[in-house]
Structure 1
Amino acid sequence: MVLIKEYTRSASCSLLLRLARITLEEERVLKCFEMNHMKRMERKANTRTRSTTYTVVTNEYMKDDFFIKIETWHKLDMGTTENPHGLSPEEWEEAEVVPIDIADRSQVDDVDYKPEEDPAIFHSEKTGRGPLGPGWKKELHNSNCPYMTAYKLVTVHFRWWGLQGRVENFIHKQEKRLFTNFHRQLFCWLDRWVNLTMDDIRRMEEETQRELDQMRNEGSVRGMKAGED
């Protein structure tokens, strides 16, 4: 048995932007900026109109009894595609669809909330984008701005008698927190990355890699702390 959930996040060409176009160069910079802040081993295949991402997390000790698989489709719609990953009828019947709205305060745990990372408050000084109001999705859909939705299919398998269901649900809870918080940050960090060049991003990648190597050897554990189940 596995627990499958599909998390959907609508966007304006890679980021939730309010009634404003994001240029192709901005999109390239954003993708690198995202990867620089979420170092993961991924196999990617990208085009201008859609991209797929495939990520698998395993554990050497548990072998085939544990894995987290994240498959992402970016499609040019507002979250209306049914079963975008092509699951079997039986799998799709069991899967849960979880819409994510980065402007919805109720989707953010109190422990995670930061006013400076709230898209419903943030306004970009450099681009004039934001804040995102309650009806931002409808406004985006009715505008001339291109939009897309990221469909993240997360499959969790943890085979351990007496713990499987609880652990799988706990992992999904943390994945939703991660997706929600990270993309809220990306929107509110817009002024940090919008004018970066690809050369700037490459330098940041090198600096980040050095910092990560140093933390692995000398530093303490950092990052998002898992909440209580």
Structure 2
Amino acid sequence: MAAQQPPAEQPPVQDRSHKWGIGAFLLVEAVLLLSAAFIGAILQPSNSDQRISVLTIVVGSILPVLIATGVALLITRLRGNGPRIDLRWSYSRADFKVGLKFGLIGIVLTTIAAMVWTKVVGDENATSAFSALVDNRSLPVAAGIVMFLYAWLVGPVCEEIIFRGLLWGALERLQWGRWAVFGLSTAVFAVSHLEPLRTSLLIVIGIPIGLARLFTGRLGASVVAHQVNNFLPALTVLLVSLGVMAP
């Protein structure tokens, strides 16, 4: 009797292909824009002096991003192998160290770029859409804390899942080179904020974050880099919203 052949080796987990691509990213972006427009229309204040409630901040600014992120994660479950494999999700000590390094580099680059950019566009045009929420408005303490935690910790996780996770994986599936994937995902990240004046600045912000993803091949490093880069702007928004700093 012929000897039984050993079973064929299974491919490594990280080599499993997924069935989603650019269409998945475009769907997530459509969900983000449509949900933001719908919720924004419902919660539109009647005048510029109306006090912003915690509910308005959470629902109007945060919920659309959470919904879009949920759709992205669901796609990896239904059409792939889940976020850990498809999006290269990890959060190890090595990811933290690399992310911290690139995040600190990003702070330096962003600070220099922001100074140059502000001189070019002027102080009156140098406010981001997120920071504009606290301009000339009185926020309750809870709303300021929610905005701070979202901008510092939660928002970066969501954006990295969408851009350096879903979009990155879709471009890799098209057999793009790693540097081309890095360049296009960084550009799309900047443009997708829908702040034309800040696009060049957002590209600078996105470069070290994307490099953390590029050099490690994992999403955890870019999440940490994004969180480190967002800390000071998030803290500024919190202090302004609480009246500690002038807008």
TM-score by length of 1: 0.30
Higher gyration radius (CA): 2
In proportion to residue count, which structure has more helix?
2
